[in-house]
Structure 1
Amino acid sequence: MKNQNNYHPVARAVKFALAASLSLGISATVAAQEQPAAKEQAVEKIAVVGSRSAPRSISDSPVPIDIIGGDELSKNGSSDMLNMISTSVPSLNVHANPISDAATLVRPMNLRGLSSDSTLILTNGKRRHKASVIAFLGGGINDGAQGADVSVIPGIAIRQVEILRDGAAAQYGSDAIAGVVNFQLKNADSGGSFEVKHGEYYEGDGTGTEFAGNIGLPLTKDGFVNASFQYKNADPTSRSVQVADAQSFADAGNPAIAPLAQIWGSPKIKDDISFFVNSGLDLGNGREAYMFGNYSERDITGGFYWRNPYNRLSVFSNDGGESLLIGNLDDTAGPCPAVTLKDAQGANLDFATVNQAVSALPAHCFTFFSMFPGGFTPTFGGNVTDTALAIGTKGEFKQGWLADVLYDFTGSVGRNESTYVMTNTINASLGPDTPTEFTPGKYIQLEKTFTADFVKYVSAGLYEDLTVAFGAQWTEETFEVVAGDVASFIDGPLTSQGFGIGSNGFPGFKPEDGGVNSRRNYAVYTDLEAEITESFLAGLALRYEDYDTFGDTINYKLTGQFRLSDDWAIRASHSTGFRAPTVGQANVSNVQTSLADGMLVDSALLPPTNPIAIELGGKELTPEESVSFAAGLVYSGADFFMTLDYYNIKVDDRITQSSKITLSEANKEALKAAGVRNVDSFQQVSFFTNDFDTTTQGIDFVASYSTDLFGGRSSFNFAYNWTDTNVDRVTVPPEGQPAITGADKISRLENDLPNHRATLTWNQSWDDWSMFLRSNYYGEYQGVHVDWVGTPEEPGTEKNASAKITFDLEVSYYVNDNFIVAAGAQNIFDTKPERLDFEQQSGVPNNNWGGKYYETSPMGINGGYYYLKGTYKF
């Protein structure tokens, strides 16, 4: 046993903190001063996340942690943080979501096969606020998810990213069922860098330009201010073919059909700017003050679904395309004649015939065919503004009953605002007076958090001091809906004649939809960790949390690591967890455009406690609850490091958006009898629900090796993930009621993400040159397009998209100690994802809506991207 008298706990904490700051800051200091060969020297990776004891190396951690350094993040063609980390961590997936409603503004991510809001996001170890965007069309697994907006974080501001791949709700609270991602900001007090990057896709679109900078400054002689910025613009992409119906109209002579009626691709990003600041000040006597925060803003414009000029409901026709919908603008002028769209055999009439009939209509008779003879395609986008500020102080109590206790007090506030914009669309009920650009409203997410964390090292006769951590947290979460401009929701003079109300595609929020909903919760926790012997580390975490909406919950976590030898160790963890329903999920209402039986229809998302939702099986939301088990093996030799971990996560009462449910006549009559208004205006209804249980299991294998090779220094990193998700239970509806979660949604939850993913990276450095080569393996996945998804109820229609391998390459030349130029490419061989079949397969058409590739492609749909980059370090 070590001599406890000579091993003071505060001294040990200081030693570990210094080790952590030195190792974590190496990319910011050594990178600016050393040649490449020196930069690649092996440095033990130290993680702050996952333990409230002194920071640990990842080989000593009882839970699996990935650490991605700032240098590795920069070797990426994409400047989107989601893409940066997903290429390094195979268990983390990000979909492109080419047409995805609000998810166009904030893309969700998935860790270990769970939804994006099952992963907690931290900045400098402090909880980060959620985005205001709820992913109404989240690609199956993320339907209804409300996670944090990670894309606002610029890579140049990051010292390292720590990804804890283990349930941690007992340590950090809600949202940590799948794990935790902690973004550590740079903290250098000198030096800096400036980058310019320009690139585009091999197909000649998606051109992007980025400027980024970082600077470290002293704050008196005892502190630092480290500031970063990023400014970028990116053009949209298109991976589309003509929509089948649009092509038919063009072939029949309609000159107003656009060459591509509907675009599947990445949205346009304009004036995307982020500022991040991290600062700290030594107050003396073991005390420190710190502050960090950000301001970020961007404009995004994405695609939407094409409106067929013959059969779009409530705009062009209300009888399925048999005749045009014609509005009478002046009843005193007499009735309006009918304009048929079909011939005697039921085929569409040609454009000239229909146009002639429309031209002959009396002046008081109006049809949108005269305004949009080729139909129209709304654009959906908006402005996202994100701000956050955290202020705190930490140190050590020197006297009294709290003597030798380390403390950390923090207050933080985060705000995310999404303002929606629709262009090239109409409020059909306004007839010819409709504008074509609308602001349907905005969502605002506001979170305030205060935490008090304490740590004391207690001599307990063990190999090392017992770490006793305890603390409390108070949080207030607010979700606000702000009404849109009047034209986006008003029911105009043609409403009574069957014309649709509100901006088509995304009707504006009415004043009665607006309002503020809030929730408060507090938590207390304790966390014990001890090296019981030289070989055995054990930990216990316990957390009590109480919400003023649904009540309280208690969760625990047990961890342990046993070192078999100097190089080998085994580790395991067991925990319970929870994810609280967000205030937005419990209260939001919205109208979406969805596809039903080949037709675009308006689908209303209602709060689960709305009478209409209750009629269909809706109930007040309750927390998701999880039980996790994990076990792993660790090897850490001189030049070789390896971990192998198995995990099993069972989640009960998972929250998701229900399937789109059509109200039956019996439902409507029951609701009317109960006094519910406007029932007939709803075609389909969905709501958030705790509807099913899942079990997710998998294996993570990570290995790294460093050696001298080819006259320089080489490092190789391999990571592999296998994840499998099964739906164990789905709520059985009462007899006569439709299922809340359909077979297609279950299939998407289980099959959309690839079961197998892997990356192999080679980093090679010489005196003046360095090279970075990465291969990415994406296993089979379920191919889904908007109008085609295989389900167990339709054997033979499922599509297992084939596995793919892509390669990324970057070559850098160090002109001198300060200036670096680099050229690179993502997906350098332009490997294409699974292409949609343009023929009918098993009698099911799978491309009526113009996409080239399946939306669920884990590698994206845009293909190869090349770029040039210049970096100046000082």
Structure 2
Amino acid sequence: MSNPLSSGSIALTLIVTSFHSIPASLANESTAQTERIAVVGTRALPRSVDDSPVPIDIIDAEEFERQGSTDMDAMLTTVVPSYNVNAQPISDGATLVRPANLRGLSPDSTLVLVNGKRRHRAAVITFLGGGISDGAQATDVSVIPAIALKQVEVLRDGAAAQYGSDAIAGVINFVLKDADSGGRIEARYGQYYEGDGDTLNLAANLGLPLSEQGFINLSAEYKTADATSRSIQRDDAADLINAGNSAVANPAQVWGSPAIDRDIKLFVNAGLALSENSDAYLFGNWAERTATGGFYFRNPNTRGGVFSGDGGDTLLVGDLSDGMNGNCPVVPIVDQIPDPDALAQVAANPDCFTFYQRFPGGFTPSFGGDMLDLSLTAGVKGEWANGLYYDFSAGAGRNEVDFFIENTVNASMGPNSPTRFKPGRYVQIENGVNADFSYPMDTWVFSFGGEYRKETFEIYAGDPASWTIGPLASQGFSIGSNGFPGFQPRDQGSHSRENIALYTDIEKSVDDTLLLAAALRYEDYQSFGDTINGKLSALWDLSERFKLRGSVNTGFRAPTVGQENVRNVTTQFSATGLQDQATLPPTNPIAMQKGGKPLEPEESFSYTLGAVATLGDLYVTFDYYHIEVQDRISQTSPLTLTDDEIQALLNQGILDASSFSSVRYFTNDFDTTTQGVDLVANYRLSSGWGDTSFALAYNWNQTEVTDFNPANISDTKVRLLEQNLPRHKGNLSANHRIGDYDGLLRLNYFGEYFEDHLDSEIFPIEGEAAWTVDAELRYHMADGVSAAIGAQNLLDQRADEHPWQGIAGARYPATAPVGINGGFYYLRLSYDF
């Protein structure tokens, strides 16, 4: 730069440099200087940035490479201690796009960027998310292949005043590779110790020149993963078998990871120098995958609306005759077995029908979705003659999920019901335009800009069989594809919202030891009005070895268009068995009768205080954070519907309401205070035995629900919000290299947690703390070829088995931080060129 700042304001220099238009033709020359620049802040090796007033972690691509998992959520939870993700084996849409939590907050409280630009959220809304993630609609980071990444930057601080909505917990920025030559080809195969979950991953990256002044970097990944099962036989299924029912599967219900088919990811990142002082850039992706998971077992004696209408005393027999005069017999169930003589009479009468004839062992639906993700961002940035840096960009993103459910029925259709349904599709579309400017003035940096965004959520109706009201509905048979009824034509539609934002940032190097920064952002939303948020931060160099940093900020999270408008019916466990629970828009008359009202944004106040120490080869950062969030958005607990309320739904034209037992809606209905500590330490050691690096990363996090409406939020949900995530989480790793060999050993710790098993509020689980070990040995051969063998959870650590296993057949707690699948070994072969 022509105007370098004083030595005490390195952070300012680097921030301005990140706005400066480096010629795209030089982007592949990843020198130490360019690698130290982070879009969300500054960068200093090895992990955390010490010249930033707020805590930022830089995670190099190699940290993702050296893991057994290839799922981005799972990889992040290994390297970012305050990042948590659960298995979600039977959780409707959450099985397809797993919710993840940063610093103890909901998934959609973390803003995701790619190359510094806002990433669109997923179409999936997490209706079942273990309490803390219930109702969240977040970004699907699993569509990002690790091989496309140059680094990942994690801003562990509230940043709504800088980036807008969703940045209450922090910001994760995925920086794409920008080399114009060379590349990498990688093949990986792995399997769990139990012999299932076979995973094959093929990935490639290629850098190409784009004329003499640019680059185009291409990445691709293909993956398949078999399902896993960590199940035991359910008690009710075992009782059926003991009673003589040989048609019941063993296990009747599977708890495990879903099967992943055709998981294809493509990313492109390109840049071109238009002149000495301006660059054009473009990046985008295309991804698709199919995921199939399990659902709850439908007992052939007791499942209401399909097999029985009286809790299992008799079978539900449908009369197919026009005048319901088929004289169908009553089929009593005695000692777990329907009376064979009465059942034979049903079979002999063409006017009578029972699903027991088709599914004598009951059935367990398989639920899944075909997912598609697209994005494209383009822009131009550079420096004008007056020294003003600019960045103009426009982006569009689309995420959609087309649901399917198999091995189930629309009971109201009787014998004419198919067993595979397409219940409908959710689509999330986001478009945005940005203009960003920055102007350095001696020891000042003045930044400002504006943003326009449009967010659209679309619902498409399912195939008619998934929602139609069949002729047996009036006889007590349930309506719609059992387990996930289809979206009806009246439910489909497109809902949009626009917003505009203006912001300004000022940073000042007071002297060689003090950096001050301030940010202010104004946003105006079409649905609920405007909001203003601010941030102050500072970095104080006490000495060359020790620094203090801190920030204070206000923030907000706007309700998503999906949360404002979605309709959904899901099957959940309860004290009386499986029940269909409807999620309605908060402005629906029935929701409003239960207390629903238009959603408002969440509002937050937070502060951090930390220290950075560099003691020779030892580097340590310690940061305390405190986050208060008011009017948090979530789903209410299930609210029982009275007969009058069900009739009111029927009068609205919701003709399947007769099968609803309760209703939920999105609401601003509770406040929380979250506090925690992040500790990061790195140490490097060189000797005649090779080079060794040690890394410690630890997080303590505590959430307290400070206010809630007991009519909507139950005590169990309060406890889930406070204790479902482990309070303590961390890892200690050692990397050692000597000659052509290098090894990795990582020790992971997960603290105690609480689970409301089956989302039922009647089966509490007190989860114990656990340790796991990861290990890898890699050999570097000639000509860029390397081979590695490794294991995640080397010692096959499992969560403690819980006392409610027989209720639904889950051997381990579904939300156990240590996971449910156990040890996983893998082989990896790569070629760098």
TM-score, with length taken from structure 2: 0.95
Q: Which residue of 2 aligns with 1:582?
A: 560
Instruction: Confirm or deny that 1:814 pairs with 2:805.
Output: no
C-alpha separation in 1, matches of 2:63 and 2:429: 33
CA change 1:699–1:431 in 2 (3 A) is same
Q: Which residue of 2 aligns with 1:305?
A: 296
1:194-225 deviation line (CA, Å, top 9, x unaligned): 00000100000000101000011110011100
C-alpha separation in 2, matches of 1:747 and 1:21: 51
Code of the aligned partner of 1:437: R
C-alpha separation in 1, matches of 2:525 and 2:178: 35
Q: Which residue of 2 aligns with 1:35?
A: none
Q: Which residue of 2 aligns with 1:745?
A: 717
Q: Which residue of 2 aligns with 1:643?
A: 621
Shift of 1:44: 7.9
Residues 525-604 of structure 1 mapped to structure 2, 5 A cutoff: 525-604=503-582
C-alpha separation in 2, matches of 1:396 and 1:140: 48
1:563-585 deviation line (CA, Å, top 9, x unaligned): 11001001111000000000000
Shift of 1:144: 0.3
CA change 1:422–1:360 in 2 (3 A) is closer
Residues 207-246 of structure 1 mapped to structure 2, 5 A cutoff: 207-246=198-237
Matched residue SS, 2:70:
coil
Matched residue SS, 2:757:
coil
Q: Which residue of 2 aligns with 1:373?
A: 360
Residues 159-308 of structure 1 mapped to structure 2, 5 A cutoff: 159-308=150-299
C-alpha separation in 1, matches of 2:18 and 2:754: 46
Q: Which residue of 2 aligns with 1:33?
A: none
Matched residue SS, 1:545:
strand
C-alpha separation in 2, matches of 1:4 and 1:385: 46
CA change 1:238–1:214 in 2 (3 A) is same
Code of the aligned partner of 2:66: K
CA change 1:18–1:667 in 2 (3 A) is closer
| 2:524–2:530 contact (8 Å) kept in structure 1 | yes
Q: Which residue of 2 aligns with 1:385?
A: 372
C-alpha separation in 2, matches of 1:105 and 1:21: 40
| 1:384–1:417 contact (8 Å) kept in structure 2 | yes
| 1:819–1:872 contact (8 Å) kept in structure 2 | yes
Code of the aligned partner of 2:300: P
Shift of 1:119: 0.1
Shift of 1:10: 15
C-alpha separation in 1, matches of 2:666 and 2:11: 49
| 1:835–1:853 contact (8 Å) kept in structure 2 | yes
Shift of 1:228: 0.3
| 1:46–1:58 contact (8 Å) kept in structure 2 | no
CA change 1:358–1:119 in 2 (3 A) is farther
The answer to which of 580-589 and 494-503 deviates more is 494-503
Shift of 1:789: 4.7
Q: Which residue of 2 aligns with 1:453?
A: 436
2:496 to 518, 532, 554: 518
| 2:280–2:379 contact (8 Å) kept in structure 1 | yes
CA change 1:483–1:567 in 2 (3 A) is same
Q: Which residue of 2 aligns with 1:684?
A: 662
C-alpha separation in 2, matches of 1:168 and 1:356: 65
Aligned-pair Cα RMSD in Å: 2.8
Q: Which residue of 2 aligns with 1:617?
A: 595
| 2:182–2:206 contact (8 Å) kept in structure 1 | yes
1:486-533 deviation line (CA, Å, top 9, x unaligned): 111111111111111111111111111000000000000000111111
CA change 1:581–1:284 in 2 (3 A) is same
Matched residue SS, 2:79:
coil
Matched residue SS, 1:799:
strand
Shift of 1:637: 3.3
CA change 1:304–1:867 in 2 (3 A) is same
Shift of 1:785: 2.0
Q: Which residue of 2 aligns with 1:856?
A: 815
Code of the aligned partner of 1:757: K
C-alpha separation in 2, matches of 1:783 and 1:49: 35
Q: Which residue of 2 aligns with 1:125?
A: 116
Shift of 1:677: 7.4
The answer to which of 92-101 and 668-677 deviates more is 668-677
Instruction: Confirm or deny that 1:363 pairs with 2:335.
Output: no
1:506 to 478, 484, 509: 484
CA change 1:821–1:642 in 2 (3 A) is same
| 1:9–1:457 contact (8 Å) kept in structure 2 | no
Instruction: Confirm or deny that 1:477 pairs with 2:455.
Output: yes
C-alpha separation in 2, matches of 1:743 and 1:206: 37
| 2:66–2:776 contact (8 Å) kept in structure 1 | yes
C-alpha separation in 2, matches of 1:757 and 1:227: 35
Code of the aligned partner of 1:623: P
Q: Which residue of 1 aligns with 2:87?
A: 96
Q: Which residue of 2 aligns with 1:490?
A: 468
C-alpha separation in 1, matches of 2:95 and 2:173: 24
C-alpha separation in 1, matches of 2:579 and 2:146: 41
| 2:301–2:333 contact (8 Å) kept in structure 1 | no
Code of the aligned partner of 1:261: A
1:246-269 deviation line (CA, Å, top 9, x unaligned): 110011110110011111000000
Q: Flag structure 1 segments of 5+ consecutive residues without an equivalent.
A: 31-40, 460-464, 733-738, 791-796, 838-844
The answer to which of 677-686 and 118-127 deviates more is 677-686
| 2:15–2:42 contact (8 Å) kept in structure 1 | no
CA change 1:182–1:13 in 2 (3 A) is closer
| 1:29–1:191 contact (8 Å) kept in structure 2 | no
Code of the aligned partner of 2:57: D
1:706 to 684, 687, 702: 684
Matched residue SS, 1:786:
helix
1:395-433 deviation line (CA, Å, top 9, x unaligned): 0111xxxx2110000100000010001110111111101
Instruction: Confirm or deny that 1:633 pairs with 2:599.
Output: no
CA change 1:356–1:548 in 2 (3 A) is closer
Shift of 1:341: 3.6
Q: Flag structure 2 segments of 5+ consecutive residues without an equivalent.
A: none
Code of the aligned partner of 2:376: L
CA change 1:18–1:409 in 2 (3 A) is closer
C-alpha separation in 1, matches of 2:540 and 2:160: 23
| 1:157–1:228 contact (8 Å) kept in structure 2 | yes
| 1:611–1:676 contact (8 Å) kept in structure 2 | no
Q: Which residue of 2 aligns with 1:778?
A: 750
Shift of 1:684: 1.1
Q: Which residue of 2 aligns with 1:728?
A: 706
Identity of aligned residues (%): 50
| 2:479–2:659 contact (8 Å) kept in structure 1 | no
Matched residue SS, 1:87:
helix
| 1:785–1:847 contact (8 Å) kept in structure 2 | no
| 2:54–2:549 contact (8 Å) kept in structure 1 | yes
Shift of 1:680: 4.1
1:342-370 deviation line (CA, Å, top 9, x unaligned): 44xxxx34357478456555221000000
Residues 309-320 of structure 1 mapped to structure 2, 5 A cutoff: 309-320=300-311
Code of the aligned partner of 1:512: R
Code of the aligned partner of 1:812: R
Code of the aligned partner of 2:538: G
Matched residue SS, 2:436:
strand
| 1:261–1:377 contact (8 Å) kept in structure 2 | yes
The answer to which of 127-136 and 13-22 deviates more is 13-22
CA change 1:852–1:9 in 2 (3 A) is closer
C-alpha separation in 1, matches of 2:248 and 2:418: 21
C-alpha separation in 2, matches of 1:314 and 1:169: 48
Instruction: Confirm or deny that 1:434 pairs with 2:417.
Output: yes
Q: Which residue of 2 aligns with 1:413?
A: 396
1:6-41 deviation line (CA, Å, top 9, x unaligned): 99999966994599999xx999979xxxxxxxxxx9
Matched residue SS, 2:212:
helix
C-alpha separation in 2, matches of 1:539 and 1:5: 15
| 2:40–2:173 contact (8 Å) kept in structure 1 | yes
1:120-161 deviation line (CA, Å, top 9, x unaligned): 000000000000000011121110000001000000000000
Shift of 1:698: 0.5
